[in-house]
Amino acid sequence: MALDAMEKTLRPPEIPLKPYPAKVITLASGEKMVVREAKREEVGALLGTLYPLFGVAKDFYDIVAVRMYSEILGWYRYRVANEFVLVGTVDGVIAGIVTSRHVTPKLGMSLHTLTIKRGYRVGAQLFAAKMENHLDILGEDEVYIVAESPNGFKRWMIEYELEDRSSLFPEVRHELGGVPTYVLTRPLWDAVRDVKCTGVRPVSAEDLKSSEKLIMPSEYPQIPGFKR
Amino acid sequence: MANVGIVGIGHTKFGNSSEYDLSDVMAYAATDALEDAHFLARRKEVDQVVVGNMASGLFCHQSAVASALVSRMDMEPVPAELVENGPASGASAIKIGYMAVASGMADIVLVVGGEVMRKVTGWLGTDYVATMLHTDAEYNMGLTLPGFGGMFTRMYMERYGMTERDLALLAVKNHANGAKNKYAHIQAPCTIEAIADGPDASVVNTYVAEPLRMYSTCPVSDGAAALLLVNMDSPKAKDFPKKPIRIAGIASATDTHCVHNRKDPLMLNAVRISAEKAYAMASLKPSDISFAELHDAFSILEFAISEEVGFFERGKSFLAVRKGETNIDGKMPINTSGGLKSKGHPVGATGVSQAVELVRQLRGEAEKGRQVHNPKYGMSVNFGGFGNNVVALICAKE
């Protein structure tokens, strides 16, 4: 097989995704976090941000960072279908990243949410943005969600009152292994959107510019003493 | 009665210590206090250990923590007793330690308050704390402390005209103080625009128990604090290099267990009575107090307690906060440590932690930016139950 043909057979089929419109959220600190889609050329900064967290076992950062690393690498190298990556930045510095996948026009598959900046509900805001993209922008009916950490379980399963479909395993299963599958349905989203999801659009030119170049964090609260 | 002074203080960084054993966490604070008093090597000369803890049996599945601490500290055969008085356990332990020294029964007493709450989920922790409510009339009806806090806040708002923005102003003040406190659980400032005025505020500052929001509710924290008390009239007092901070007044009071049995649910009688008794013991009045640590498990309590202890007229404290009067450089600085809201609230530790802050301020040892100018008297109020057991403490710089 010719090389180009081989590569073509290895790539997943793609469904064109509507772009996620950027928004800005004022965190409790008063800092502005721009939430926007990551671009392919920014993969280096994203992977470099994740790499130091591989050794942080606390709160399952290691598993989430490693898996997200592979998801973003897979996205960049065309080995994951219809993935999108959203990034939250404060003054350009990456505060958190979320990954997810559009499976069909009706179904989304939430992959991972990773927060670097702690204490300001950055993860909660980015997760909500991810759900907003699935249900309000891409128009899916429901999103499959799993949690790998107790914090994730509390934030998503309990706070969103997600529908537990774990009893339907293996017919209904999230693609991240056999972890019990929970589902955010449109009625559930409609019930919580106003209290979970926020952000102002359009983003001012100044704020957008601050987020134009992704900056890897120089310090991590998860890794005391770390300096980049 | 003998004069009682504080000659050593210790404090862990509040936050998540769930991977540690409770007796280890308390031992860190106790060691810190003994080192501060230059008495670590002589710790077996302590006459009595008193431990304040609310619910180690529930949170950690561990009981008899006072004697466990003594053993952990290699202090046998020093006698040790546990004091449990809900979230006022810490200040109650100080009171019992004070009584032991003042009565002449002991010359040197180590008081330690500690709690490790984050071994269980926040939901379970809230349930455990709620067990202090009346079993049949309150707990079994589904009431929790945040639920009480929300109802109390709503009633106060309707009666006095306080707004949610006023609660947010308090959070901004306390987070600014906590951000400078090396022991605080949440060392993160917040802005009024972000948590009250801006377009994202209702989500960023989400409801916990309406109208209480996240920034008007304390976090769930682990931690410990410790004091070394000494009989200032004993020759042993000369063994301590740091000048003692005198306990000028300490008193407690009890209110009805059921909130609905109170004539007016907004009247915190146990706060008022304990404060009046502490003032009388110290021969002081509210205007003599230089600064205060008040039990703001919910921000509304800082307002209500500051009125009950006589700093402000009833229903007017939020106006003082609007004018910045309770800031570090204000007329009556309140919660200079960041309060429970920012410093955190490991329930059994809180009363002792408040006393540690009084000593740090009176010694002039608070961090830059949150040191009150030349304070003479500091007051703390440790609030248990929903106001049914309260301890007021006044410390004086000699």
Q: For residue A29, list chain B residues with Cβ-Cβ distance below 8 A.
A: 188-191, 194
Residue A16 sits at φ, ψ, to 5 deg, of -60, 130
* Three-state DSSP class for residue B46: coil
Domains and CATH numbers, chain B: 4-121+220-239 (3.40.47.10)
Between A and B, how many CB-CB pairs are < 8 A?
Answer: 58
Cis check for the bond before B244: say yes or no (omega within 30 of 0): no
Residue A37 sits at φ, ψ, to 5 deg, of -70, 140
Q: For residue B186, list chain A residues with Cβ-Cβ distance below 8 A.
A: 119
Q: Name the residue of chain A whose CA is nearest to B219's CA.
A: A119
Dihedral angle computed from the Cα positions of residues B74, B77, B83 and B88, in that order, rounded to the nearest 10 degrees: -40
Q: What is residue A149's predicted lDDT score, i.e. its pLDDT?
A: 86
pLDDT, tens digit, for every residue of A86-97?
A: 999 999 999 999
Taking the domains of chain A in order of start, what are their residue ranges?
A: 20-210
Q: What average pLDDT score do residues B78-86 get?
A: 98
Q: A175 near A145, Cβ under 8 Å?
A: no
Handedness of CA B185, B190, B192, B193 (dihedral sign): negative
Check B193 against A196: CB less than 8 A apart. Answer: no
Architecture of the domain made up of A20-210: 3-Layer(aba) Sandwich (3.40)
Residue B2: CB atoms within 10 A of its CB come to 18
Give dist(CA B53, CA B42) in Å, integer.
25
Chain A contact present for B193, CB below 8 A: yes
Find all residues with CB under 8 Å of A10, minimum gap 6, and list them.
A78, A79
Confidence at A148, pLDDT banded by 50, 70, 90:
confident
Q: What average pLDDT score do residues A114-124 get?
A: 94
Mean confidence (pLDDT) of chain A: 95
Q: How far is B59 from chain A (nearest CA, A)?
A: 17
* Three-state DSSP class for residue B237: helix
Chain A contact present for B14, CB below 8 A: no
Q: Using CB atoms, pick whichever of A29, A154, A199 lies closest to residue B190.
A: A29
Q: For residue A26, list chain B residues with Cβ-Cβ distance below 8 A.
A: 193-194, 198-201, 204
Check A27 against B193: CB less than 8 A apart. Answer: no
Q: Name the residue of chain B whose CA is nearest to A200's CA.
A: B199
Tokens of A191: 């019930």
* Three-state DSSP class for residue B198: coil
Q: Which DSSP helix (H) or strand (E) runs through A164?
A: strand A163-164
Confidence at A152, pLDDT banded by 50, 70, 90:
confident
Q: Using CB atoms, pick whichever of B121, B194, B203 lies closest to residue A196.
A: B203
Contact residues, A window 192-221, toward B, CB-based 8 Å cutoff = 194-200
Give dist(CA A98, CA A87) in Å, integer.
6
Q: What average pLDDT score do residues B258-273 get?
A: 96
Token pair 């007044």: residue: B249
Check B191 against A30: CB less than 8 A apart. Answer: yes
Top residue of A126, A127, A161, A198 to mutate, by most chain B CBs within 10 Å, is A198
Q: Round to the nearest angstrom and report the end-to-end CA distance of chain A.
A: 44
Q: Using CB atoms, pick whichever of B123, B193, B207 lies closest to residue A26.
A: B193
In order of A96, A152, B339, the CA distances from A190 in angstroms are 25, 21, 37
Q: For residue B198, list chain A residues with Cβ-Cβ distance below 8 A.
A: 26
Q: For residue A195, list chain B residues with Cβ-Cβ distance below 8 A.
A: 202-203, 206-207
Find all residues with CB under 8 Å of B57, minimum gap 6, and list them.
B63
Dihedral angle computed from the Cα positions of residues B296, B298, B299 and B302, in that order, rounded to the nearest 10 degrees: -40
Q: How far is B191 from chain A (nearest CA, A)?
A: 5
Q: How far is A82 from chain B (nearest CA, A)?
A: 29
Mean confidence (pLDDT) of chain B: 97
Confidence at B362, pLDDT banded by 50, 70, 90:
very high
Check A199 against B188: CB less than 8 A apart. Answer: no
Q: For residue B123, list chain A residues with Cβ-Cβ distance below 8 A.
A: 154, 158
Q: What is residue A155's predicted lDDT score, i.e. its pLDDT?
A: 85
Check A30 against B122: CB less than 8 A apart. Answer: no
Q: How far is B295 from chain A (nearest CA, A)?
A: 22
Q: Using CB atoms, pick whichever of B186, B190, B204 lies closest to residue A198.
A: B204
Give dist(CA B371, CA B339) in Å, integer.
14
Which is it for strands B377-384 and B207-209: parallel, antiparallel or unpaired? unpaired
- B338: pLDDT strictly greater than 80: yes
Q: What is residue A119's predicted lDDT score, i.e. its pLDDT?
A: 87
Q: Name the residue of chain A whose CA is nearest to B203's CA.
A: A195
- B81: pLDDT strictly greater than 80: yes
Q: What average pLDDT score do residues A74-80 get?
A: 95
- B228: pLDDT strictly greater than 80: yes
Give dist(CA B6, CA B25) in Å, integer.
21
- B57: pLDDT strictly greater than 80: yes
Residue B171 gets the label, from left (phi > 0), alpha (psi -120 to 50) or beta, of: alpha
Q: What is residue B109's predicted lDDT score, i.e. its pLDDT?
A: 98
Top residue of B204, B213, B215 to mutate, by most chain A CBs within 10 Å, is B204
Confidence at A3, pLDDT banded by 50, 70, 90:
confident
Q: What average pLDDT score do residues B109-113 get?
A: 98
Q: What average pLDDT score do residues B217-222 get?
A: 96
- A124: pLDDT strictly greater than 80: yes
Q: For residue A125, list chain B residues with Cβ-Cβ distance below 8 A.
A: 203-204
Give dist(CA A78, CA A216) in Å, integer.
24
Chain A contact present for B57, CB below 8 A: no
Check A195 against B186: CB less than 8 A apart. Answer: no
Give dist(CA B397, CA A83) in Å, integer.
64
Q: What is residue B229's predicted lDDT score, i.e. its pLDDT?
A: 98
Q: What average pLDDT score do residues B95-124 get?
A: 96
